[in-house]
Amino acid sequence: MYSTKPYVAPEALMMMAPTAEGETFYEDDAYDTSIPDLQKVTKKNNILPLWGNQKTMNLNGLVLENVLQCTYYKQVLAEANTYQQIVDEIYMHVRHLEPWEKGTRKVQGMTGMCGGVRGVGAGGVISSAFCLLFKLFNIRITRKQLVSMLNSNQSAYLRGLGFMYIRFCQPPSDLWAWLEPYLDDEDSVDPRSGGGDELTFGQICRMMLTKLDWYGTLFPRIPVPIQKDIDEKFRERNRLMLEEQQGYEGERTGYNAQRHAIREMEREHDRKRKGSPTREGEKKKKQIRCDHHLRHHHCRKHRKECPKRAKAARAAAKEAEEKEKEANGEEKKKESGNGNNDN
């Protein structure tokens, strides 16, 4: 018989209400341990929290001013009001992750803070990457959209902008939870304008957690207690990795010992087989190597033939020893003959 109870979808397949863009999607299972907690999309947490200045995205003042005055931002991106439109712009126009286009920012002749990155120096042509990053901030992307950026397999620069979005405007207390799953990511991207500085995403995440500088601008400062906690987590992570490596080496050592024992058993079996009655009539190989050769069989130089100098020296020493014995024997005979004559 069929059940009369109404069907209830599992939690992993519970459908959320359509978004403002008309998109319908499913929330993640709250008990799924394969997904990091901050990347689980539910009805309650799809709206991302923002940290710091709600208007500037914590961008450097000079960078922000150039973004707002950029023709690309004011005219082209003014018509892009949806997440998908901005993603399409990223696919087409982003070729690096620096704030300035190559060769447009002149810092020669600037002294003191004027040549620095804190917003009082000569600017340049702002990059499309930072214009699009600020546009993503203005449309307030959701958690689901940010997660799709981080895990994209279509564009490395889309992933890079996702990590930069986290570093600029997400709460510092959440940075480790966001970036730690990607510390071993081997996929690479070249953030430098003009190329020549290819990095893996694991290296980029480590830079974002430990450094402030980012190619001519600065990330927001992480509060000291949180930074100490992040450093401690890095030390603990390195310790666990070292223990795992040592455990692997120990397993390899045990495996090698087992292989060595098996080889010894095979050699012992071969030795017994060679001494069996069925092989007694076989012709034994004539020993053609000298003692020195047998002692130094591992030497590549002496593998195929005996060393001539050592062989000659050994023969000369043996001959000298025999002559000395003969001389000693003759002396003893003379002494014994003289003793008999005296008697």
Task: Tell me: do 41 and 187 sit in the same domain.
Answer: yes
Q: Quick one: average pLDDT of 244-259?
A: 70
Q: Quick one: average pLDDT of 323-341?
A: 77
Instruction: Please report the pLDDT score of residue 122 as a whole number.
Output: 57
Report residue 145 as tokens: 């959209």
Residue 140 lies in a domain: yes
Q: Can you list the alpha helix ranges (DSSP code H) found in 220-298? A: 224-274, 291-295
> How large is the angle between the packed helices 61-69 and 128-138, nearest 10 degrees?
90
**Positions of E strands within the chain:** 188-189, 199-200, 213-214, 217-218
Q: What is the pLDDT of residues 62-108, one digit of tens each?
A: 999 999 999 999 999 999 999 999 999 999 999 999 999 988 876 54
Q: In terms of residue numbers, what domain contains 17?
A: 11-105+116-221
Residue 251 lies in a domain: yes
Residue 96 lies in a domain: yes
Residue 236 lies in a domain: yes
Instruction: Please report the pLDDT score of residue 12 as a whole number.
Output: 39
Task: Tell me: do 85 and 203 sit in the same domain.
Answer: yes
Task: Tell me: do 235 and 186 sit in the same domain.
Answer: no
